[in-house]
Amino acid sequence: MMYYGWDNMMGFGYAPFGWIGAVLMFVFWALIIAGVVILLKRLTLPPEKEKKDDSAMEILKERYAKGEINREEFERMKKDLK
């Protein structure tokens, strides 16, 4: 007896693709769900600050603020950059 799509041996009604159709259907829905999750994350989370390239002066100021260089070195390097 044939029951609307349940006529193959394994009972899946994905004919003519059989197991390939089942796998493709799983992949399709996995991609849809992943897309929705990514979309929701982008809409709900604040945007990440774009990391801009630090200029040499900004790096110099950071090094001075951290105490890696002293005032004389800072002033000398600052003159070199200008």
* Backbone dihedral region for residue 48 (phi beyond 0: left; psi -120 to 50: alpha; all else: beta): beta
Q: Is 60 exceeded by the pLDDT of residue 52?
A: no
- pTM for the model stands at 0.41
Do 21 and 14 meet the contact criterion of CB atoms below 8 Å apart? yes
- Please tell me the predicted confidence (pLDDT) of residue 42: 87
Q: Residue 9 has which token pair?
A: 């041996």
Instruction: Please state the domain extents for the chain.
Output: 10-45, 53-82
pLDDT (tens digit per residue) in 54-65: 688 889 999 999
DSSP, residue by residue, 30-76:
HHHHHHHHHHHHHHHSPPPPP-PPPPHHHHHHHHHHHTSS-HHHHHH
